[in-house]
Amino acid sequence: MQEIVAFVADNFFWVFIGILLVNLLQRRYQATAEKKRFATLYLGIAAFFVYTSAQALVMYELSPYYFVPILGLIVGVVYYYRKHTFPFRLHCPRSGKLLNLETILFRDSNILPESENGDPPSDTENN
């Protein structure tokens, strides 16, 4: 267990930075990706809390078993707010086709551009 906490404390900073870089890329698409930009911000905050809690456990030489409830709390909060933290879909609700990376990250509608001209999506398609 100590090795897991040490690994997270040493390497999870780069996961945090990667999530924030995606968030910065999403700023170019503010008109079409507002929900997804906030989602990556929330996921970045969660990654930061995971990183800082692991760092605190290593730095203060606390028991690594404290990491389990801390991680459970963070995962629980992210799951509870999953409508806000996970708006990313892999398939188009209209055509059922696999979405490309640009649509997954930069379009709140989760609809392929070629399917966009049809009827407006219902509320269940945006969830």
Model confidence over 33-60: pLDDT tens digits?
899 999 999 999 999 999 999 999 999 9
The answer on pLDDT for 120 being more than 90 is: no
Cα separation of 127 and 124, whole Å? 6
Secondary structure of 16-33 in HEC code, one letter for each residue: HHHHHHHHHHHHHHCCCC
pLDDT at 4 > cutoff 60: yes
Asked which of 10-14, 31-35, 58-62, 117-121 is least confident by mean pLDDT, the reply is 117-121
Distance CA 101, CA 81 (A): 23
What whole-number percentage of the chain has pLDDT above 90? 65
pLDDT at 123 over 70: no
Is the pLDDT at 108 greater than 80? The verdict is yes
What does the pLDDT look like over 55-91, one tens digit per residue? 999 999 999 999 999 999 999 999 999 999 999 999 9
